[in-house]
Amino acid sequence: MRQAAGPRTARRLGVPGGLRTRLALTLVALVALTVAGIGLGVYAFVDASLRSSMVAEARRQANFDLSVLLPAENPAPATAAQFAASGLPAAFQFRGDVKTIADYGHGDVYVSDRLLAGALDEVDPGLRSIVASGQLGYAWQEVNGRSVLVVGGRLGGPPDLYLFFDARPVDEALGQLRLGLAGAGLLAVLLALVTAGIIARGILRPVAAAGEAARRIATGDLHARVPVGGRDELSALATEMNRMADSLQATVTRLEEAQGRNRQFVADVAHELRTPLAALVAEASLIEPALADLPPDARRAGELLAGDVRRMRTLVDDLLEVSRFDAQAERPALQDVDLGHVIGSIVAARLPGAALTVPTAALPASTDPRRLDRILGNLLDNAREHAPGAPVEVSLSRIRDGAVVTVADRGPGVPAAALPHLFDRFYKADASRRGGSSGLGLAIAAEHAELIGGSLRARPRPGGGLVFTLRLPANAVTEPLPGGDPGVILPQDA
């Protein structure tokens, strides 16, 4: 039994990409999401901790300034000028790096640093409302382009006291943390990418082995098996694939044996029939001249008998030829010929009424003339049988990679579904193309074409009929024949 080879361009499961890439990217994505989640959590925790600590310290300082230092000043400053002349700004500054704004209302404002000029207008309105209500509040904001923590409050009445704490150390610490987390995340992703590739390769190694085994089985190696190791799902898959391969191999072996027996049976039957058929043909040839002297009924029976004997002889000869192909006993005998001359001789012998078109110049080739006669003879016989009286056109042309012979008829044609099966053994299309043929002629022609390195195809002809195309390989067309040899002339009964 012939094994169909898979296309050379088929991708193997073992090549990088596809499932392996998706699996590796999935693992990397999971690691990246995990690292991102952890990084965001760490960043949020550190950010909240640093800011909470700074707010707690600022609130303690503000409470002390409002509840201890400010009441201790006697007399209490009633204007911004008095506040500036008092020792309060220096006392506030002594307790920490803080800048102060004291708002006495109506534009009477004390500012401890020129960098805070106009900063009161930038204080968050929500914070100013909290301070106006007599409560202590804070806000994170930018003042004059600098990140600060503003804590504000009042003690009974004016002034509204705002303490500005520099928040840049917190921002810088968080910036360093962001860089560290980003670097660690990138490193984790790179490590995950390498690790995921290794893991994916290990996980998919059985899949790649299964793909390789399937490819070998598809190309005819029925002994290919998948290595089995472990007890996981992939091992179970490998076991089932091997069981399937065993079953397939057993089935193919049985079919090959049955096919071999069938072919041997056909060859034996054809061989055994050949001798008695030869005697029948000889006897029919003796009877035919006397048929004219017989009564009409007996004459008709004798004519049918003679025709059936000839058809049976043709069938037996075809079966013997097919059996030789199956036994691979056929070998081409290549000769240097002029294709135009050879094809002209074949057409003249087989179907003289066919229209022939060949190049004016000689078309030298190295081929087997006897097999070429068998191929074209079967095609012409097919056209004569299925398209009696219809025009048949035969043409020869040179192409870049060899030569092409076409045989076109104007018969009834065949259904589109029948075209792929025209060269199958014993295949017959619909009744319009059945006639008395055995269904072996086109199959034998295709076998001969393959034997000389060519190919035979069929296609529907526009307007009705079929076009058969015989392509001969590039090595069929050679240099001009030596000595102007016109080529081989085939005998009429070749």
List the one residue out of 14, 49, 22, 42 whose CA is nearest residue 188. 42
pLDDT beyond 60 at 494: no
Contacts of 147 (CB under 8 A, 6+ apart): 140, 141, 166, 167, 168, 170, 171
pLDDT of residue 340: 87
pLDDT of residue 268: 67
Number of neighbouring beta carbons within 10 Å of residue 65:
22
pLDDT beyond 60 at 482: no
Tokens of 299: 């004459």
88-100 as b/e, with b when 16 or more CB fall inside 10 Å?
bbebbeeeeebbb
List the one residue out of 178, 161, 248, 163 whose CA is nearest residue 213. 248
C-alpha distances (whole Å) from 335 to each of 311, 316, 340, 478, 482 are 32, 29, 14, 11, 12
List the one residue out of 172, 189, 235, 188 whose CA is nearest residue 209. 235
Q: Give 167's pLDDT tier (boundaries 50, 70, 90).
A: confident
pLDDT of residue 484: 46
pLDDT beyond 80 at 310: no
pLDDT of residue 470: 92
pLDDT tens digits, residue range 16-52?
457 777 777 888 888 888 888 998 999 899 989 998 9
List the one residue out of 422, 449, 448 whose CA is nearest residue 434. 422
Tokens of 90: 């220096």
Comparison of pLDDT for 489 and 59, the residue scoring more: 59
Percent of the chain, pLDDT > 90?
Answer: 5
Maximum C-alpha span of the chain: 164
pLDDT tens digits, residue range 183-232?
988 998 888 888 887 877 777 777 777 778 888 888 878 778 877 776 77
Q: Which residue do the tokens 């017989």 mark?
A: 294
pLDDT beyond 50 at 492: no
Tokens of 356: 């022939």
| Least confident window among 143-157, 160-174, 264-278, 315-329 | 264-278
| DSSP states of 159-176 | EEEEEEEE-HHHHHHHHH
**139: helix, strand or coil:** strand
List the one residue out of 450, 449, 444 whose CA is nearest residue 426. 444
Tokens of 191: 């490590």
pTM of the model as a whole: 0.47
**135: helix, strand or coil:** coil
DSSP 3-state percent helix, strand, coil across the chain (nearest 5): 55, 15, 30
Q: How far apart are CA 371 and CA 172, in angstroms?
A: 91
Q: Give 473's pLDDT tier (boundaries 50, 70, 90).
A: confident
Amino acid at 54: M
pLDDT of residue 481: 56
pLDDT tens digits, residue range 78-110?
888 888 888 788 788 777 778 888 888 888 888
Mean predicted confidence (pLDDT) in 264-289: 70
Q: Give 479's pLDDT tier (boundaries 50, 70, 90).
A: low
pLDDT beyond 50 at 1: no
The pairing of strands 392-399 and 355-357 is parallel
Tokens of 289: 């001249």
pLDDT of residue 407: 92
**438: helix, strand or coil:** coil
Average pLDDT, rounded, for the chain? 79
List the one residue out of 100, 107, 105, 110 whose CA is nearest residue 80. 110
**Is 422:413 a contact under the CB 8 Å cutoff?**
no
| Least confident window among 227-231, 354-358, 393-397 | 227-231
Amino acid at 246: D
pLDDT of residue 9: 38
**94: helix, strand or coil:** helix
pLDDT of residue 394: 92
pLDDT of residue 271: 66
Nearest 5°: the CA angle 24, 26, 29 is 110
| Least confident window among 137-141, 255-259, 421-425 | 255-259
Nearest 5°: the CA angle 316, 319, 325 is 150
Comparison of pLDDT for 237 and 352, the residue scoring more: 352
pLDDT beyond 80 at 288: no
Q: Is 205 exposed, middle or buried (0-12, 13-18, 19+ CB in 10 A)?
A: middle
Beta bridge partners of 458: 468
List the one residue out of 406, 403, 408 whose CA is nearest residue 338. 403
Nearest 5°: the CA angle 30, 33, 34 is 85
pLDDT tens digits, residue range 227-271?
777 677 777 777 887 888 888 888 888 877 776 776 666 666 666
pLDDT of residue 263: 67
**417: helix, strand or coil:** helix
pLDDT tens digits, residue range 171-180?
889 899 999 9
